[in-house]
Amino acid sequence: DGGITQSPKYLFRKEGQNVTLSCEQNLNHDAMYWYRQDPGQGLRLIYYSQIVNDFQKGDIAEGYSVSREKKESFPLTVTSAQKNPTAFYLCASSLRGEPLSYNEQFFGPGTRLTVL
Amino acid sequence: KQEVTQIPAALSVPEGENLVLNCSFTDSAIYNLQWFRQDPGKGLTSLLLIQSSQREQTSGRLNASLDKSSGRSTLYIAASQPGDSATYLCAVKRGSQGNLIFGKGTKLSVKP
């Protein structure tokens, strides 16, 4: 059964802690993305990766880090430097990256992170 | 800077009505436009993808149109059902990076 999985579904973090959100896909997609969703706002891009061992910052990368050691996996670490991390985090993937990709982005079910 | 706007922010209609959701974008140089559905607390489900060279796409009761020159897209839902209740998001693909720029969505409620 192909798709994108994110874990955990809910995550609670104490202030000052780093936490890592998991994203795995078995769609054989090249590109993977992390977005953040806040109430009343559109999704905003945190980081994206078009191939293994390569990634770029998105619009709101400060306080976050990523790695792309395997094609199937794109974990996101929310560090203590992120001032307001409470949000809904969505991972996505697409079949091909730039420059002329016309392909759809598919999304995982999301992880809701709450800072206590 | 590309900006995507969706109007209205919320819409309530009786079951069976045909409806139109609107999406506008400021930069017409897009690769494609995607419509998504999001149920509360869930991820996004892709509904329709329109390439920049296309004018419209259809899937079942859904029809999406694209007018690049005017920076507009519409999502038409025919014969609405209570199960259509969700937030609908429009997003355009940025050429140089491959990620999507999202609108804030239209929250649709279809009353039985």
Contact A93, A33 (CB under 8 A): yes
Residue A97: the pLDDT is 53
Residue B1: the pLDDT is 85
- Residue A105: list chain B partners with CB under 8 A: 34, 46, 91, 100
Of all residues in chain A, the one with the smallest CA distance to B35 is A104
Q: What is the mean pLDDT of chain A?
A: 91
Closest CA to B102 of A29, A50, A30, A36: A36
Residue A10, number of CB atoms within 10 A of its CB? 10
pLDDT digits (tens, 9 = 90+) for A27-73: 999 899 999 999 888 899 999 998 899 999 999 999 999 999 999 99
DSSP track, B73-102: EEEEE-S--GGG-EEEEEEEE-TTT--EEE
Amino acid residing at A51: I
DSSP track, A35-88: EEE-TTS--EEEEEEEETTEEEE-TT-TTEEE--SBTTB--EEE-TT-S---EE
Euclidean distance between CA atoms B73 and B52, whole angstroms = 11
Q: What is the mean pLDDT of each run of 10 residues along chain B (112 residues)?
A: 93 97 94 94 94 92 96 97 97 76 96 96
Residues 72-111 of chain A whose Cβ lies under 8 A from any Cβ of chain B: 88, 90, 92, 94, 97-102, 104-110
Tokens of B86: 């969700």
Say whether residue A11 is in contact with chain B using an 8 A CB cutoff.
no
User: B67 - beta bridge partners?
Assistant: B72
Closest CA to B49 of B6, B16, B7, B93: B93
Residue A81: the pLDDT is 87
Amino acid residing at B15: E
Say whether residue A50 is in contact with chain B using an 8 A CB cutoff.
yes
Of all residues in chain B, the one with the smallest CA distance to A42 is B104
Residue A90, number of CB atoms within 10 A of its CB? 25
Bond before A75 cis per omega within 30 degrees = no
Q: Choose the mutation target among B53, B96, B99 for the interface with A, i.e. most A CBs under 10 Å.
A: B99
Tokens of B104: 């804030």
Tokens of A91: 């991972």
Q: Name the residue among A98, A106, A107 with its Cβ closest to that of B97.
A: A98
Tokens of B5: 């706007």
Of all residues in chain B, the one with the smallest CA distance to A5 is B43
- Return all residues near A37 (Cβ < 8 A) that are at least 6 apart: A43, A44, A87, A88, A89, A90, A110
CA-based nearest distance A108→chain B, Å? 6
- Residue A58: list chain B partners with CB under 8 A: 97, 99
Q: Name the residue among A50, A98, A106 with its Cβ closest to that of B46.
A: A106
CA-based nearest distance A19→chain B, Å? 20
Amino acid residing at B20: V
At A1, is the pLDDT very low, low, confident or very high (cuts 50, 70, 90)? low
